[in-house]
Chains A and B, each alone.
Chain A
Amino acid sequence: MSEFFTRMGDGAGVYMTAEEIREDILKGVKDAADRGKVPELTQEEMDYLYQIITMPGNIVGVERGREVVSTSDSGSCKITYHANIAMERSMAVLVSEKVLGADSVDIGNMDYSYKAVKQIVHNETPVMELAQLNAVMPVLYGSMPNLGLYTKPDGPVENWSELLPLAKISEARAAQEEAVEHAVRDIVFVAGEMYEAGADGINLDTCGASGDADFLAGLLATEKIKEKYPDLGVEFGAAGEFVLGMHGKLEYDGTKIAGLYPHKQVKLAEKAGANIFGAVVNTNTNMSFPWNIARTVTFLKACTAVATIPVHVNVGMGVGGIPMSEIPPIDVVTRADKALIEIGKADGL
């Protein structure tokens, strides 16, 4: 029986039979449909996904004309900080534009949180100004709401991670609500500074990383940014496939935020005024690539079907069907892209 090379969710190579791949595709689709209460992929779509997974060739690509555009999270600082190449960030923007073929990039600080950035924003804006003079493509500024940073001892509010295990639920909820106000103020402040530095957009990255209050902070900040700076683009990126209920009762526009999956998250982002929604589906390291990508595409297809704004699916390490490995293998990365665009109807990556 012939076997195909693919990978597990942690990046490890594995050989699977056609039957095993088809079985994992079906299980992944059903898992997403069950959890998100969204439609399953059709048999035709699952057959095409099987084809993508088993296509010969180390890498695959989308059909001509189906190419999408890319945004990033802290794209320019990855050269400077992650690859540790001593390159000023506005120069890294140009490398991304002229060498790496990026459609856009966002400048971010190594301390990738709005709370941290507000202290040094006067040193961040000149980087944006210089980038804007020299770059042609859109350049955004990105950071995370990172609500956890507002808790003691790093911030002013009580630490709900300590209060919750003590069953001090109301105190934990009050602390989160207070942190939202601080975060919104900081995000809008940084956005304003970046707008005046010429930024094309602001990237609210990984909204919901600290739970539903974190997600709410992103939504409220988006609202205020669009009110004050209507020309500033806002990309609202989610943190996970469902919003973790650290608070559990917060609502936006009459909708409870905790537990929302991408197809419902995007509607709140739209309502807040975001221009682009960054969808996230988590990769399970213990499951195969066929299972993970089938699951991701199912969630994504439901999301893009209802979205009226463009959806850029996050295809970084450990999300979007991409394995959780430091160097995501190109064979499955390109297969994930193709499936997300051609079946999931992503508007961007």
Chain B
Amino acid sequence: MSVESIIEAAKQSIIDIDEEKAASVARQALEEGLNPVQVLTEGYSAGIREVGELFSRGEVFLPELILSAEAMKAATEILESAITGAAAEKIGKMIFATVEGDVHDIGKSIAIALIQTQGVEVIDLGRDVPVDKIIEAAEEHGARVIGTSALLTTTMPNQEKLEKALRERGLRDKYKTIIGGAPCTQRWADKIGADAYAEDAGEGVTKVLELMKA
């Protein structure tokens, strides 16, 4: 098979939620000496992004999204075993929480499922999480990025509170922060001083990867 057709098969296995096929394509890619990083990014990751887009349009549902992520995980494990050196390491750690007073976590769970497929270790603190607990967890786990989600205009101020608390404790430069949730915007991120804003889970993946490299 050509490089292009293997990459396409990798992508399609995720869209088709075919875990077995995802794994066999990964093995085939290694047998044929393809660059595992290329197969991962151009094949499987592209597939998961497409599934994410279909989900946002109501054409794919949460169970399928989760199963796609599982298929991706199976392929990733095979490819990672072949990636040597620094690339084999997890890209970094991230803390993720829905802010205090807010119990909405569907969006956060979706974002985490996708971000984890990209080699980021995500520590999910759940929902209704106070700022102090978020910072403590970031310190404890040695996280690089802190992500917070807020679905309510009444709980958004807790994202600002996190920025202030980080500044007051002299920790602001130690972490990159990213915010999301229906009422949030880039303007809100700029106003409170967050490093990034993501409109949806797909953009969250891209932005978190950028923050990890920054």
Contacts and interface: CB of A to CB of B under 8 A. Distances in A.
Direct contact of A and B (CB under 8 A): yes
Given A282-B182, A318-B182, A324-B153, 12 more contacts: A8-B185, A10-B187, A10-B188, A164-B66, A165-B113, A167-B66, A167-B67, A169-B63, A244-B58, A246-B106, A248-B61, A259-B61
A245 B63 contact: yes
A8 B184 CA distance: 12
Interface string B194-214: 000001000000000000000
16 contacts: A10-B183, A161-B109, A164-B66, A167-B66, A169-B66, A211-B62, A245-B58, A245-B61, A245-B63, A246-B106, A248-B61, A259-B61, A282-B182, A285-B184, A286-B185, A326-B154
Contacts of A318: 182-183
B35 interface: no
A220 interface: no
A34 to B, nearest CB: 8
Interface in A161-187: 161, 164-165, 167, 169, 172-173
Contact of A324 (B58, B60, B112, B182): B182
Contact of B58 (A12, A161, A261, A317): A261
A326 B153 CA distance: 7
Interface of A: 8-10, 12, 35, 161, 164-165, 167, 169, 172-173, 211-212, 242-248, 258-261, 282, 285-286, 317-318, 324-326
A258 B58 contact: yes
Contacts of B112: 165
A244 B57 CA distance: 9
Contact of A10 (B60, B105, B113, B185): B185
Interface of B: 57-64, 66-67, 70, 105-106, 109, 112-113, 153-154, 182-188, 199
B156 to A, nearest CB: 10
Contacts of A211: 62
Contacts of B63: 164, 169, 172-173, 245-248
Contacts of B113: 165
Contacts of B188: 10
| The 5 residue pairs across chains A and B that have the minimum distance between CB atoms | A245-B61, A242-B58, A248-B61, A259-B58, A169-B63
Given A169-B63, A246-B62, A285-B182, A35 B57 contact: yes
Given A242-B58, A245-B62, A248-B62, A167 B70 contact: yes
Contact of B59 (A12, A259, A286): A259
B153 A165 contact: no
Contacts of B64: 245, 248
Contacts of B154: 326
B67 A169 contact: yes
B182 A165 contact: no
A247 B61 CA distance: 7
Contacts of B199: 286
Contacts of A317: 153
A35 B61 contact: no
Contacts of B153: 317, 324-326
A212 B64 CA distance: 14
A172 B70 CA distance: 16
A345 B59 CA distance: 27
B72 to A, nearest CB: 12
A47 to B, nearest CB: 28
A320 to B, nearest CB: 14
Contact of B61 (A246, A285, A286, A326): A246
Given A10-B185, A10-B188, A243 B109 contact: no
A318 B182 CA distance: 9
A212 B62 CA distance: 11
